[in-house]
Structure 1
Amino acid sequence: MSTNRGFTTTILHSDRLGKPEHGALHKPIHTAVTYGFDDVQDLVDIFQNKKKGYAYSRQGNPTVSALEHKVTQMENGMASICFSTGMAAISATILSLMKHGDHVLASSYLFGNTRSVFQSFIDLGLDITFTDATSIDNITAGVKENTRMIFVETIANPGTQIADLAKIGDLCQEKGIIYVVDNTMTSPYLFKPVNVKASLVINALTKYIGGHGNALGGSVTDTGLYDWSNFPNIFPTFKTQVKPEVLGMTQIRKKGLRDAGGTLSPEAAHVLSVGSETLALRMERACTNALALATFFESHPLIKKVYYPGLKSHPQHGLAGELFTKYGALMSFELDNSIDLFGFLNKLKLVIKSSNLGDTRTLAIPVAHTIFNELGAAKRAEMGIDDSLIRLSVGIEDLDDLLEDFKTALGD
């Protein structure tokens, strides 16, 4: 087969071309926790990073490895590591690469749980500050002498702000700063952070890549663009055991996955892998639905404001068009003050009231009362999160059915 295959073709045939057991089209589910060796030297070599293989499934499993290979292909990266959740991937990246005295500069629009775990790291002594990442000027002003990492999301959840991704990448390259881009809201189909010089790419596999709301998972991908040989926090032993280009992945796998233990199960890895095969098809439909719904909401008199990058009224609409293949399937909107928030949501019969996103089904949630409740009213106000804000993760239903459900709930 050609080496220049398309996105879906590549993912669809990834397992098969790896020649899995018995001619299976998918990598089988390997449930073994431990692995035995006829020659103890082989076991030692795996422990000492001299040979690839599996010694204990907390840090590696054949089924999970097949999924890691797929994610790497999707992101045009060098290597990937999978975790039990997206939050485990984020936590492991910070835990394994940062030290006391280091500074992390992050977007002020980070998702609530990401912001929460960053606060926990702050409480432990790590210097983390937040700034409006939609402007490179803010990022430049926020960089310190001890800044080791800049962490942003492609599209913020739930406000849909878009970071100045390409210019931040140029800045990080110039200053030798690790550039971490959370690609969850766009997925590798709509955007590849390697194109804006990202060092590491985060994906919550639970969302669009898995796509069906039936398995948790997360990943970190090394794009191969960062020079780890000059990074001061690498564990000394690793420097003597592996090539410089894999130092970052080695440290994240050993210190972040093995030590912290956020291991992805082989059963979940299989489900996510199969789900990923239809990523492009699902995103095409969901993004088309999202743009149509956003257009409908923007013209409705009972909707105060709509947050969706595909609308010309969005502050970063032009930037989104330059960066992304489509505008994504996530949006938020504020209801008119005359409408009871909970009453409106309860009138929706097709749209599901749920905390997840990236599902095949359309999901809605009142933001201030749930996923951003812990931040408190003052912080929500600072982030522009209105009490009437509803986050909508648009699915692949027939558009007419979705429109009818919202029209009925709005009293049309």
Structure 2
Amino acid sequence: MSEKTSYGFTTTILHSDRQKPIEHGSLHKPLHTSVTYGYEDARQLASVFQGREPGFRYGRQGNPTISALEEKVTRMEGGVASICFATGMGAIGAVFQALLKAGDHVVSSSFLFGNTNSLWQTVAGQGVGVAFVDATDVANVEAALTSATRIVFVETIANPRTQVADLARIGQLCRERGILYVVDNTMTTPYLFQPRSVGAGLVVNALTKAIGGHGNALGGSLTDTGVFDWSTYPNIAPNYKKNAPAMWGMVQLRAKALRDFGASLGPEAAHHIAVGAETLALRMERASANALAIAAMLEADERVAAVHYPGLPSHAQHGVARELFRAFGSLFSFELKEGIDCFDYLNRLQIGISASNLGDTRTLVIPVAHTIFFEMGAERRASMGIAESLIRVSVGIEDAADLLADFEGALP
């Protein structure tokens, strides 16, 4: 397979490992479990440590199995380099750990995954200003910018209420102001959307979710799209400026978030994720079609108060989602009419599993206010539009007819 030939998404991912020499003719990059790497020439060891030639130093900063996954993710996102982390939250935490300092300011969407919201609250307590805004309108983001704003952070589709950020116009604003635009692509995945197309400089993916796809490995990644000019970023340490400016961000992230902070992905997890990623496009097409069918069925049922899914014409950001995304994703949420107990409904499901993960091959359901968003309290939930009866659904790849019967049959 030629390195220079342009192939489709799935063909590229399937054959990614074979773009470089691979041990014993293996089709997958083999699992490397060594923590450390020896060199016959001590000068070469020093050269690798100093970044003058490629090589592996110590498992905390990567190994051949993880590097192969990083290259696969980079190809998915159309970027220039990626770094993998132990979890998706490790990847988001790396942005704070490596790129921000006391006195800096971040503008973040207020519609966030619960743990990301918690992390930004922690960051705010450590000297970094954080402004939460409704990112479905770029005007709200612009109004929150200050001279100290270093990063604008959004999710493509918010978890769990599925608000869609004003992605393209926020990207244009960040380009005009020279601000690093960080986009969490977990809910859409690189198959449905590449944030590089709207000017994102860094892209987050929780590899645990749809990219790995089988609920058997934790992982996260940051991808540098090549869009952002790192020579303008004020927080790059002098010792990382020995590299080409285009790589300053990745070099500092790898040093400060892997070497220093230690949020490292293990090789076993990397291997699981890399193999799972090969079927991402197939799974996302099936799961997205299933999600649209179930969401439409529930919206038409008088026992359901509201359904939140970007694929429905009734969704406030349906037009934006239709313009930007290949499909509308595998996640939706819905509210039952008053008087219908959400726990009783969930317990009547035969296929949907009460569990907290996303992007699995199986359909997973969870009562949001009582679990993953319980800690933030009723007032904060209300500000995010999260009703007490809200049920989040991560749709799997089961047969659509079976899922439709299950979700309808559980209604009283």
Fold-level similarity (TM above 0.5): yes
Pairwise CA distance, 1:198: 0.4
Query: In 2, Cα distance between the equivalents of 1:230 and 1:347?
Result: 56
1:206-240 Cα offsets, whole Å, 9 max, x none, are: 00100010100000000011111121111111112
Pairwise CA distance, 1:49: 1.5
Pairwise CA distance, 1:17: 2.7
Q: Give the match for residue 113 of structure 2.
A: 111
Q: Give the secondary structure class of the aligned counterpart of 1:368.
A: helix
1:353-410 Cα offsets, whole Å, 9 max, x none, are: 0000100000000000011001100100111110000000000000111111112211
Query: In 1, Cα distance between the equivalents of 2:53 and 2:112?
Result: 38
Q: Give the secondary structure class of the aligned counterpart of 2:272.
A: helix
Is 1:182 matched up with 2:179? Answer: no
Q: Give the match for residue 409 of structure 2.
A: 408
Asked whether the 8 Å contact 2:298–2:408 carries over to 1, the reply is no
Query: In 2, Cα distance between the equivalents of 1:45 and 1:238?
Result: 15
Asked whether the 8 Å contact 2:9–2:191 carries over to 1, the reply is yes
Q: Give the match for residue 294 of structure 1.
A: 295
Query: In 2, Cα distance between the equivalents of 1:20 and 1:136?
Result: 46
Q: Give the match for residue 312 of structure 2.
A: 311
Pairwise CA distance, 1:155: 0.1
Query: In 1, Cα distance between the equivalents of 2:360 and 2:226?
Result: 30
Q: Give the match for residue 28 of structure 1.
A: 30
Query: In 2, Cα distance between the equivalents of 1:281 and 1:244?
Result: 37
Give the share of equivalent positions with the same residue, in percent: 62
Q: Give the match for residue 354 of structure 1.
A: 355
1:251-297 Cα offsets, whole Å, 9 max, x none, are: 00000111110110000000000000000000000000000001001
Q: Give the secondary structure class of the aligned counterpart of 1:373.
A: coil
Range 172-181 or range 37-46, more displaced: 37-46
Q: Give the secondary structure class of the aligned counterpart of 2:393.
A: strand
Query: In 2, Cα distance between the equivalents of 1:338 and 1:110?
Result: 28
TM-score (norm 1): 0.98
One-letter code aligned to 1:190: L
Q: Give the match for residue 328 of structure 1.
A: 329
TM-score (norm 2): 0.98
Pairwise CA distance, 1:19: 2.5
Q: Give the match for residue 193 of structure 2.
A: 191
Is 1:68 matched up with 2:60? Answer: no
Query: In 2, Cα distance between the equivalents of 1:397 and 1:384?
Result: 29
Query: In 2, Cα distance between the equivalents of 1:341 and 1:195?
Result: 39
Q: Give the secondary structure class of the aligned counterpart of 1:304.
A: strand
Matches within 5 A, 1:8-27: 8-27=10-29
- Identify unmatched segments of 5+ residues in structure 1: none
One-letter code aligned to 2:112: L
Query: In 2, Cα distance between the equivalents of 1:356 and 1:36?
Result: 39
Q: Give the match for residue 272 of structure 2.
A: 271
Matches within 5 A, 1:8-407: 8-240=10-242, 242-407=243-408
Query: In 1, Cα distance between the equivalents of 2:308 and 2:409?
Result: 21
One-letter code aligned to 2:300: S
1:66-92 Cα offsets, whole Å, 9 max, x none, are: 000000000000000000000000001
Q: CA RMSD in A?
A: 0.8
Asked whether the 8 Å contact 2:101–2:127 carries over to 1, the reply is no
Q: Give the secondary structure class of the aligned counterpart of 1:294.
A: helix
